[in-house]
Amino acid sequence: MKNEENIPRSCLKVGHYIDKNQYNETSFWERLRIQLHIINCQRCKQYNKINEKLTNLLKKPKLSALEKDEKEELKNRLKF
Ligand SMILES: [Zn+2]
């Protein structure tokens, strides 16, 4: 999610959960929070949609070999 200044804190938080969700790293409560938030928030709903598409794309068998390395790389980057 872009770091625009007019994004509410709650959206930034949910955006972070959505990012995590892409790698199945969210807990039940975090996923619930996403679902509850996107009922009322078009921006995050859209963001979640895009992320779901990306996730499905990565799940395709053809890409799975690449996917693993890329996922690891992304994970490592996110730790900083
Ligand atoms: Zn939002």
CA of 11 to the centre of ligand 1 (A): 4
User: For residue range 14-56, what is the model confidence (pLDDT) as tens digits?
Assistant: 999 999 988 888 999 999 999 999 999 999 999 999 998 888 8
CA of 47 to the centre of ligand 1 (A): 9
Domain boundaries, the chain: 9-78
Question: Which amino acid is present at 60?
Answer: K
CA of 42 to the centre of ligand 1 (A): 7
Does the model's pTM come out above 0.85? no
Phi, psi angles (nearest 5°) of residue 10: -60, -35
Per the model's pLDDT, the better-predicted residue between 6 and 26 turns out to be: 26
3 state SS of 26: coil
CA of 54 to the centre of ligand 1 (A): 19
C-alpha dist (Å) from residue 78 to 8, 19, 24, 75? 22, 10, 14, 5
